[in-house]
Structure 1
Amino acid sequence: MSVTAADAHVTHPPLPGARTGRDPDRAIKRGPSRVPPEVVAATQRDRLYDALVHTVAQKGFGNARVGDICQAAGVTRPAFYALFEGKEDAFLATYRHGIGVLWEVMEGAYTTAPDWRTGIRGGIGVLLSVLAAVPSFAVMAVVEIDAAGPAARREREELLERFHRFFAEAPHRDQVPAELVSSIIGGIYSTIYRAVAGGRVAELPGLLPTLTYFALVPFLGREEAADELVDRIDPLIVNPPCAPVAAARRPRLIE
């Protein structure tokens, strides 16, 4: 039961890092030009987004210099500082732009699904597929954000809070504490983080069955959620022999 961005029929603008900063299609010719200044600035900004992602992914946020980013983008330092206050400001702008793209495709997969379960699977699926397709952005946004300062980390926390939106219509939502939803979101993020930090970005789509099961089980129960794990988990883990005894010793969230 896997899903990809293509399966979900989702189209989206390029994620920062999907192109090189010096992409010839965005070259700005020197000399007299009738291209409006705002168009030039927007093109330079896009090129700097891509250049920052690649530079930070390769060198790390701490070692990446404004000069490195400008060189990778083919943009002058004065042009950089006309758009951003500095490296941290550029990182935040790039992160916000990229997260906006990710949010759009996730919401698209979720809201067009026929039911909540399919929507959750689709949302997680496109998240994993899009990150795997642009490894440099995954490294920059998931791992290097830790080094980008407190403002960047606050942006991440705000993003994780936004993910509660995908659980608002879950079955039995009123029986599941908000803290548990936060734990589900945090657990999914931590799993993605470990894969990206470990250099396994290409393997992210393979995490879909496990992460979908993890997201569904508090709302649907183990047996129904385990459909996501066909051929991937021992049945005894889903239905251990002591399950009735264990259930009798704690309150049940789902009847």
Structure 2
Amino acid sequence: VLSLNRPKAANSLSRSLARALNESLYQLGKDEELRVLIIRSVVPGIFCAGADLKERATMHIKEIPHFVAKLRSISSAIYDFPFPTIAAIDGAALGGGLEYALSADLRVASTNAKLGLVETKLAIIPGAGGTQRLSRIIPRHIAKELIFTGRILDGTQALEYGLVNYTVPQNETNDAAYQRSVSLAGEMLSAGPVALRAVKTAINRGVDVDINTGLAIEAACYQQVLVTKDRVEGLAAFKEKRAPKYIGE
């Protein structure tokens, strides 16, 4: 679990938080024991409020493109993370906060969550991948409407628009989306670790190319699992009618 915890600034993306996120993703990506990564906030009512606008106001205009490029690279690091990722949205995910949630493989929101790419309200545009990822998750004309207007959706509306996989009623501890994400992650733990990595690569790399290239990517990913000990274990467990014991090899 990767937890955001900057309560005094609504988890807004400062230089220091960006560095911490980048380092955490790098270190977690090397963890061979990890199977699924949940990204959440431990600040009640907030997932991530986007860029730290107070800090941004102190930056020289020449510094801003470099900083936004760093935020964009973190978005890509989430998207390219080796294992499945789930964004547990138990509060406001606005601007860059939503862009990071969009970079995750799956999203779970509480009914009281607030989701929106609000940058046009500030006379800028989403700069950490929002224009590209939202328009690949939902129909392009809907994505344009949401970005053009800077509209903020609650969890129920986000599900209706297709932004999230699940919406759950918020609970007394304000972590309903996180609890549902843990349950969702648990469903994946019975899968072969190498298979999870390979199928994520096949989908991510194949979705934006022509079907023949996509099939070639799938074939290459299938070859990776074909030679694993886990594949042999899976067949043996099926034959012996028992739960498999995968080791990630």
TM-score, normalization by structure 2: 0.30
Greater share of strand residues, 1 or 2?
Answer: 2
TM-score, normalization by structure 1: 0.29
The higher relative CO (CA closer than 8 Å, separation ≥ 6) is in 1
Compare CA radii of gyration and give the structure with the larger one. Answer: 1
Greater share of helix residues, 1 or 2?
Answer: 1
